Structure 1
Amino acid sequence: MWTFLVRRLLQSVIVLIGVTLISFVSLQIGGDPTYLYVSENASVEEIEAARIALGFDRPLHVQYLSYIWNVLQGDFGNSLSYRQPAMGVVLEAMPATIELTIFSLVLAIGLSIPLGIYAALNRGKPVDGGIMTVAMLGQSIPNFWMGIMMFLYFGLYLGWFPISGHVPFLEPLFAGNFGEAFRNLPGSLHHMVMPALAVGTYTLARNARLVRSSMLEVLQQDYVRTARSKGISENRVVMHHAMRNAWLPVVTMIGLEFGFLLGGVVVVETVFSYPGIGRLVFLAINQRDIPVVQASVILLAVLFILLNLIVDLIYARLDPRVKL
């Protein structure tokens, strides 16, 4: 176990180095970053003085090593738009995105598992074909288009859900204000319904197909036929014997999907003016607020790596045959 953890942590360090390198080089590809830190009317002398003061006159590898040293100390630079530490700006937006991601994932899992199982148990029947057809549609429709359609119909036309904004739940919860957090919960869920559906539909559709195919494979195994021949009820065969093994590929996909959802809410948050990290990155790119973009990329990379590690551990727990 410890050997596995050490190996994965070393791999994670290599991945993080690659992420920081790509985010740093992208800043250089966009041109001289000095112009981001000076006014449009700055003279040549002022620009050169700023370039020297910011260290952009040094060789590229020296700048990168200096950047890594600052990151290791928790210094991601100051936001050019907010005039405060970039990581602080990102962390303020993170709870809203985590709320949306968790709600989307719970919605997708809660619907995809029973739909996938029901389709597998009714293989070849019209209900199976109907569920798989809807799943294919769910995977084919872009989330931004679905978000816009829900925005127009359920938000503007019917007025069932708010079309923008967010009521915080995790932020007061983390602050220890449990009363405020749970008072905000209904409003928070009400604001998240449309964004969560737009974000989670693809995950719901793909997981339903994955659960169905995994269940069909497991139901054909010898141990399932043996359990049925012993007179065990069908519900117990499905839920106790089949589901445990059918879960393995599903757990892997769910863990990875959480990371993808964290990084894939940019357009949906922008459509619904949802104040999360996706909308923050979108605005930061438009405003060329590079420190905020870099801090966001690194934070999301760290979360994704941690999620992968947790998924591997859960996978081994579910299937003792898997040797770490």
Structure 2
Amino acid sequence: MATLTDDRAAVATRLRSGLLCAVLSAASFGLSGPLARGLMDSGWSPASVVIVRVLLGAAVLLPAALLKLRGNWNLLRRNASLLFGYGLLAVAAAQLAYFNAVAHMAVGVALLIEYTAPIAVVVWLWLRHSQQPGRATVLGAAIGMAGLILVLDLWSGVTTSWIGIAWALGAMVGAAAYFILSAHAGDAVPGTVLATAGLLIGGLGILAAGLIGVVPLHATTAPVVFQGMTVPWWTPLLALGVVTAAISYVSGIAATRLLGSRLASFAALGEVVAAILFSWALLGQTPAPIQLAGGALILLGVIVVRLGEPLRI
């Protein structure tokens, strides 16, 4: 009886810690859109914003990663494929594909396609690892996707293109890879090491793409204007690197390891809600009542998915 009680307490503690990390990660990631929008409105190209964001995040995390490594460079060599896969898929491909999708289609539609990643995670775990989703997981997925459609408010008339859809699907693959690879690493690679290596590899990958002309690279030192305030150009860049890259990736990896890739991917849908709230505060984009209702559905979907998850001790 005592062992059963201890096991339940361990599960509850793991769940609380995982959800707290997921909320922190979603809020941090959600802040990146409004900050980047301010920079792009002042003359920065999307790729330039992403490069500074991820490389600055890698620089912030580097001391902690080196401390975790303690000179064990064999750890990096043994997990080189994981680190490169994470950096190129979960960081570089996801960000590049998303910004290219936005260049060809409405932002809302691109986001909707990218955030079908949780469904891709469920399908991958089912096909690759025979982890068949239960009824609660399927129901939670449906509720979460319905909420996401309401949050994105796609009834105002949007246009799409096959090229944009293809890029958005690429972003979805990158987002799904983020959750799958974060969970796959387990305890073999410390979270700070995985995040640092991924950001560094991803940032250099995007820089290479810019240098060969895949995406435009340009920046400016003009002040950045937000709702009711104007700040120097380096202020949002610093926040992007420290908060939306360093903190968001480390907390996201921790959440995925505690909750599993399936539940963590659905909890990450809270990023859309966070992005709307930050857009309201920084850009003056007031959410409509239908979007608030969608946010409530997303949270309900996460709870239902949790009910369909096996206990993790």
Q: TM-score, normalised by structure 2?
A: 0.29
Work out which structure has the larger RCO, using CA pairs closer than 8 Å and 6 or more positions apart in sequence: 2
Q: Which structure has the larger Rg?
A: 1
Q: TM-score, normalised by structure 1?
A: 0.28
